[in-house]
């Protein structure tokens, strides 16, 4: 019997994502001037206020207030009527030195012997149902909000949009797990106030269905376009009004959108957030590494769908173990345990090896903090950072290295494909 599966996304203006972006902007600035920085930074945003807290070990000094304000303004909170804007909000910093008890388990005389920054388990997932090997419902949810943000910044066809928004897509699958059609789409977008509520709701619904969705569909592959139909159930701003939003509407915290950040409820999640953590924290680095493994396994033809788990003990170099689940989609006669053994010989999962393989000690994290950490475009960009003393640095950095299919040939060779 066919079944329905749903995933959601939230925009860069969602309060939790505002917090994530501030935390990751701090990470990038620390790494830009001291690549060995150890940082765990949490952010809270609410009406007219930003609170920064966390632990740092670094040789650089930053103007954290300016970084927070610049991030908020870039997102689009630039007007006093939003009750939260980058130029006027208060910024309180409670960042202090990293605990020596934690650091002693990470830093070693030999970098290759770097211990894991924490205990825990991390998961990576990939499926061949989309070109970027991501679950379709989540991929579409992200695309809807990315396009909505583009419309907001254009400020032409839909001029009343504000930064906060959410989306959700429900897809019908066949018994053999093939997407059949889109059943429902939910979009809630913050907006300017209207004189008449009924006129407002009708206008927003029409603009989302007639302007936003066609722009999203036009950028999709033909096989995904075919899933859109005239019977989709649209729920547009279902509460009827969404003027009060962002950090004024809800308090935002770093790390509260871990399912949006990963696979939309497909696969699994180890529970650790990403944003605000330098790559010595395996919550982040190993989650990227397991995605890299899963994507290369699926691209190489080892399975149509793969879940990879790795686990660590704090301060210990080698992982506790690697687990593989192919959901019965491996086309040749090999158990998941046998696949895991081969994988452990292909990919070095020591923390330092992950950092080196994926080039994680670079300021690459601001781009991850909205619209998902996985399934994104691998590209090289140029960034410039400034310190309070006027010193600047310009760096070419490679984004989303864990999305590269650079191990496909190695995987095929190991599996005889």
Consult the annotation and say whether 412 binds a ligand.
no
Angle value at C-alpha 128, between 126 and 132, nearest 5 degrees: 70
**257-261 long-range Cβ contacts below 8 angstroms, 24+ apart:** 257/10, 257/14, 257/16, 257/17, 257/20, 259/8, 260/8, 260/9, 260/10, 260/138, 260/372, 261/368, 261/372, 261/373, 261/374
Question: Is there a binding annotation on residue 16?
Answer: yes
User: In degrees rounded to 5, what are phi and psi of residue 297?
Assistant: -65, -45
Q: Would the annotation count 66 as a binding residue? A: no
Whether 359 has a binding-site annotation, put simply, is no
CA 15, 216, 168, 177 torsion-angle sign? negative
CA–CA gap between residue 293 and residue 343 (Å, rounded): 8
Q: Is 104 annotated as a binding residue?
A: no
Residue 164 annotated as part of some ligand binding site: yes
- Whether residue 97 is annotated as binding a ligand: the answer is no
Give the closest residue to 82 by CA, choosing from 145, 150, 157, 164: 164
Among candidate residues 86, 122, 112, the one with its CA nearest the CA of residue 308: 122
Q: How many Cα neighbours within 13 Å face the side chain of 183?
A: 14
11 is in an annotated binding site: no
Instruction: Give, in order, the Cα–Cα distances in Å from 84 to each of 64, 99, 216.
Output: 18, 33, 29
| Tokens (6 digits) for 41 | 């930074």
Q: Answer whether 191's CB lies under 8 Å from 161's CB.
A: yes
Would you say 165 is a known binding-site residue?
yes
Residue 91's beta-bridge partner residues?
Answer: 50
The crossing angle, in degrees rounded to 10, of helices 336-346 and 282-300 is 110
409 is in an annotated binding site: no
The answer to whether 231 is a known ligand-binding residue is no
Residue 139 counted as an annotated binding residue: no
Say whether 273 counts as a known binding-site residue.
Answer: yes
257 known ligand binder = yes
Annotated binding residue 242: yes
Asked if residue 150 belongs to a known ligand binding site, the reply is no
Annotated binding site: 14, 16, 42, 55, 98, 164-166, 241-242, 250, 256-257, 273, 277, 281
Annotated binding site for Mg(2+): 16
Annotated binding site for K(+): 42
Annotated binding site for L-methionine: 55, 98, 250, 281
Annotated binding site for ATP: 14, 164-166, 241-242, 250, 256-257, 273, 277
């Amino acid at each position: 019997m066919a079944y329905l599966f749903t995933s959601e996304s939230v925009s860069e203006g969602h309060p939790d994502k505002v917090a994530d972006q501030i935390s990751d902007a701090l990470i990038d600035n620390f790494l830009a001037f001291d690549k060995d920085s150890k940082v765990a930074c949490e952010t809270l945003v609410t009406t007219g206020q930003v609170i920064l807290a966390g632990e740092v070990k670094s040789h650089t000094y930053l103007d954290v207030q300016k970084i927070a304000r610049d991030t908020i303004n870039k997102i689009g909170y630039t007007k006093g009527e939003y009750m939260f804007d980058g130029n006027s909000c208060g910024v309180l910093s409670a960042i202090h030195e990293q605990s020596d008890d934690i650091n002693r388990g990470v830093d070693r005389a030999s970098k290759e012997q770097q211990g894991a920054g924490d205990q825990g388990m991390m998961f990576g997932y990939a499926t061949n149902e989309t070109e970027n090997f991501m679950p379709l419902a989540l991929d579409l949810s992200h695309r809807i909000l990315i396009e909505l943000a583009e419309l907001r910044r254009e400020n032409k066809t839909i001029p009343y949009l504000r930064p906060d928004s959410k989306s959700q897509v429900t897809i019908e699958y066949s018994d053999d797990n093939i997407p059949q059609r889109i059943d429902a789409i939910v979009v809630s977008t913050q907006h300017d106030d209207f004189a008449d509520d009924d006129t407002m709701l009708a206008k927003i619904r029409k603009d989302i269905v007639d302007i936003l969705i066609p722009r999203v569909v036009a950028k999709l592959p033909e096989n995904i376009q075919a899933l859109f139909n005239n019977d989709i159930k649209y729920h547009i701003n279902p509460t009827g009004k969404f003027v009060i939003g962002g950090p004024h509407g809800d308090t935002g915290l770093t790390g509260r959108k871990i399912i949006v950040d990963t696979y939309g409820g497909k696969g699994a999640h180890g529970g650790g957030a990403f944003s605000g953590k330098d790559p010595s924290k395996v919550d982040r680095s190993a989650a990227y590494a397991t995605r890299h493994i899963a994507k290369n396994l699926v691209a190489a033809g080892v399975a149509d769908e793969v879940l990879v788990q790795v686990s660590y003990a704090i301060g210990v170099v080698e992982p506790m173990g690697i687990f593989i689940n192919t959901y019965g989609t491996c086309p040749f006669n090999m158990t998941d345990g046998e696949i895991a053994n081969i994988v452990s010989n292909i990919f070095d999962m020591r923390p330092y090896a992950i950092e080196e393989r994926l080039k994680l000690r670079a300021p690459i994290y601001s781009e991850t903090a909205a619209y998902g950490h996985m399934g994104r475009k691998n590209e090289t960009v140029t960034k410039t950072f400034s310190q309070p003393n006027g010193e600047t640095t310009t760096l070419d950095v490679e984004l989303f290295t864990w999305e590269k299919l650079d191990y496909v040939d190695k995987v095929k060779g190991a599996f005889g494909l």
